[in-house]
Amino acid sequence: MNSGLLQRRIVSLTFLAPLLWILCFMLLPYGIILVYSFWQQKFPSFVPDFQFGNYVKLFAEPQFFSVILRSMTIATTVSVVALCLAFPFAYYLVFKVRSARLRMALYIAVIAPLWVSYLLRAYTWKTILGSEGILNSALVWSGILPEPTDIFLYNRFAMVVTMTYIFIPFMVMPIYTALEKIPRNLIEASADLGVRPFATFTRVIWPLAIPGVVAGATFTFCLSLGDFIAPILVGGADGMMIANLITSQFGTALNWPLGSALSMLLLFIVLIIIELSNRAAPTDRVTLG
Domain 52-279 has CATH 1.10.3720.10: yes
Q: What is the mean pLDDT of the chain?
A: 88
Model pLDDT for residues 137-187, shown as the tens digit of each residue: 888 888 888 888 888 888 999 999 999 999 999 999 999 999 999 988 888
CB count, 10 Å around CB of 135?
18
Does 288 score more than 60 pLDDT?
no
Model pLDDT for residues 93-122, shown as the tens digit of each residue: 999 998 989 999 999 999 998 998 888 999
- pLDDT of 268 reads 94
- pLDDT of 262 reads 95
Nearest to 259 by CA among 249, 270, 251: 249
Residues near 171 by beta carbon (within 8 Å), at least 6 away in sequence: 79, 82, 83, 85, 86, 216, 217, 219, 220
Which helix (H) or strand (E) element contains residue 10?
helix 3-22
CA gap 77, 67 in Å, rounded: 15
- pLDDT of 83 reads 97
pLDDT category, 35, cuts 50, 70, 90?
Answer: very high
Does 32 score more than 60 pLDDT?
yes
Domain boundaries along the sequence of the chain:
1-36, 52-279
